[in-house]
Structure 1
Amino acid sequence: MAETQVVIIAHNDLDGIAAASVIYRALKLRGAKIKLLYSQPHSIEKILLMASKPKLPSKIYIVDIAFNESAKEKLLNSLKELAKRNVKIVWIDHHPSTIRFARELKESGVEVHAASTLSVAPIVRKIFLEKTDDPEFYEKILMLGEAGDRARTLRQNKALSEIYESVSFALEEDPMDFELRQHLTRLWGEKKQLIDDLIALKAEKGRKRYDEIVSVAQDHVIADTSKLKILDMTGKTMKGFSGRLAVETVEKEGKVVAVMLRSGYDEMVVVLRVPKSLNINAGELARELGLKLNGSGGGHPKAAAVRLPISKKMDVVKLLLQKVG
């Protein structure tokens, strides 16, 4: 019997990689041959093309990736074409945009498992955990994923908390290091090993880089009110540390934090984080910024991001000051 050809396309953050590792293990035990790819919402269509080469797989899992509303028709058409060619597509996600477009996805031939959870881990836990050969180990992996999306605290588990810190710093050190992400997915999905020397080495490099970023962050504040702080980090190499910087600033100051970073020659990403104490929806704010300023954005009530032309920088500042105060 021929091996089942499967592609897993996971979000390139810790939650996505943890979920992909559990799915990887469950499918490997059933004899699947698996190709691992990683994506963000804005690049999913391009990654789908990569998934289809050199030959079509029998199944594609899209894991922890928000539906890209700004490319709605193009993306749905791509999915329909794959379905017509007998590729089964399974989309597993917890982002609001995927939930909103679940009906359109299903009509395009996609099997959708979407729920409004803080992390994709609960959905993966329900479907795949008992299909692994070591639910106790893979529960730890899912807990790491939940911690990565701030859906769980690991303070009561010192050993796992230390693993989380190392893995998250290693991944943030270079968000485009897809070889490292494959390495980690296989480390967990094949070897059942929480950490190794490569991850530890990358983590140490990441810690040093983050310390450098924190040391200059206050020099890049371009707006600061009682409810809002905006940091313009477009002139700095941020790697994958914008979310960490935003979260730590929120925890320290109790206000909405926006971190601007460059993404390519003429684009920027604005990372938004909102404290629990404020009744402001980060996801809706990011979506509105995208619609008004020729970009695309979204996320969750307390964590979101929007991709925009870098020329819109001061428009972002103006709109955020109007909306947040």
Structure 2
Amino acid sequence: MNFYSIVHNDFDGTASAAVYSRAVGSLPANIWFTEPTKIHNLIGKLELRGVNKIMIADIGLNEGTIDQVISALKSLISKGASVQWFDHHVWKEEWKKKLADIGVEVYHDTQTCGAGVVHNVMNPQDEFSSKLVSADCSVDIWLHNDPMGEKLRRIVENNREFSWKKKIIETFYNGILWNDEFQSILEKQVDAELKGYQKLWKYYRVLEINGKKVVVAIRWRGPPDISYAAQFLMTREKADVFVSANGKAISFRSAKIDVRRFAAKLGGGGHPLAAGASLNMPLIYRFLRRVGIVSPANKWVSNIVKNTISDLGYFEYKQKNISTS
């Protein structure tokens, strides 16, 4: 089958494209890796060029761009396109209705990862896809219940180049979950991470907010990845929430607190245990961060975090039965 894929620029998006490809028996004619904040621009510029099937996966919607997304998709559908949209982020019911009203097939399930939604709809009997989805969900929605997820995420996100992501999808499409090349990359990545952990103390501080510890960090260059650092620092500092900022965005992580509420208050969203929002840091703090002075930036972010959490309070997230297959 001839189709286009539009997926999130991470492990879950890559896995979603691979699972869909296995379900339909062919690789995409073309694939785009993007972000929820950019999806409307991509769709608006998309040319069908004889391909009428479009799958979108692991891309959430937001209030600010929904009308532009609807307009762009309506135009493509009027030209003969059929669109399937698979996602697991939190949506408003009215968004689903708007998409359905213009002819988009919407498959939405917040109890799994993006690839899990694709798998459950398209090919739930495929054993290889079940293994890939299990690994993907483990890290994407912070279940941490499949060791393969920690390994594969390092492999997929080791290289952000399009050619690497495309190669990964082809590898998964052919039913290969692990190979010698992946093993070599993993060993080098872990070595670099171990060295990186020794430098983290420069970038974070620990706050006590409403009786709980919160780690606030300013992003650093190189490994460890922010998700792995979050787990490490929350364990080390006995903290319940981890927050990081990079000058343009802020992200929240927790093993038990619903942090999506904090991200939503700042205009963002995500998953209950892993969420984020845009946050433009003042230019002076970004400049100081670039020259290695992170304390002013950390103080600025910490004030925002204190106010946000103090206003909303903590709510423990009760996980429902999560579907990974």
What TM-score do you get using the length of structure 2 for normalisation? Answer: 0.79
Identity rate, percent: 21
Q: 1:48 maps to which residue?
A: 43
Structure 2 partner of 1:269: 249
Pick closer, same or farther for the CA change 1:299–1:27 going to 2, 3 Å. same
User: Is the 8 Å Cα contact of residues 118 and 149 (structure 1) preserved in structure 2?
Assistant: no
CA distance in 2, matches of 1:305, 1:238: 20
TM-superposed CA distance for 1:241, in Å, is 1.5
C-alpha separation between the residues in 2 aligned to 1:213 and 1:35? 36
Q: Structure 2: which 5+ residue stretches go unaligned?
A: 284-296, 311-325
The structure 1 residue matched to 2:106, chosen from 109, 112, 127, is 112
The one-letter amino acid paired with 1:109 is G
Q: How many Å separate the matches in 2 of 1:98 and 1:197?
A: 44
1:64 corresponds to which of 52, 58, 76: 58
- Residue 298 (structure 1) shift: 0.7
1:148 correspondence with 2:150: no
**Who is 1:25 aligned against?**
22
SS at match of 2:123: helix
1:178 aligns with 2:158: no
Q: In 1, Cα distance between the equivalents of 2:223 and 2:41? A: 22
| Counterparts of 1:188 and 1:7, CA distance in 2 | 17
TM-score (norm 1): 0.79
The residue aligned with 1:124 is 118
Instruction: Output the CA distance in 2 between the equivalents of 1:240 and 1:73.
Output: 38
1:196 counterpart residue number? 179
Taking only aligned residues, the RMSD between alpha carbons, in angstroms, comes to 2.7
Confirm or deny that 1:36 pairs with 2:22. Answer: no
* Distance across 2 between alignment mates of 1:59 and 1:304: 31
Q: Which amino acid aligns with 2:263?
A: A
Aligned pairs, how many? 292
Please point out which of 263, 282, 288 is paired with 1:286: 263
The Cα shift of 1:154 comes to 4.2
CA-to-aligned-CA distance 1:267-286 (integer Å, 9 cap, x gap): x221201231x4xx322211
Deviations 1:36-94 (A, max 9, x none): 322221222344356536x2521111111111333222222212211221211111001
Query: Structure 1: where are the runs of 5+ without partners?
Result: 156-160, 263-267, 291-296
Structure holding more helix per residue: 1
Aligned to 1:303: 274
Is the Cα–Cα contact under 8 Å of residues 156 and 168 in structure 2 kept in the other structure? no
Instruction: Give the conservation status (yes or no) of the 8 Å contact 1:7–1:34.
Output: yes
Q: Answer whether contact 1:147 1:153 (CA < 8 A) is retained.
A: yes
Q: What is the CA–CA distance in structure 2 between the aligned matches of 1:47 and 1:209, rounded to whole Å? A: 35
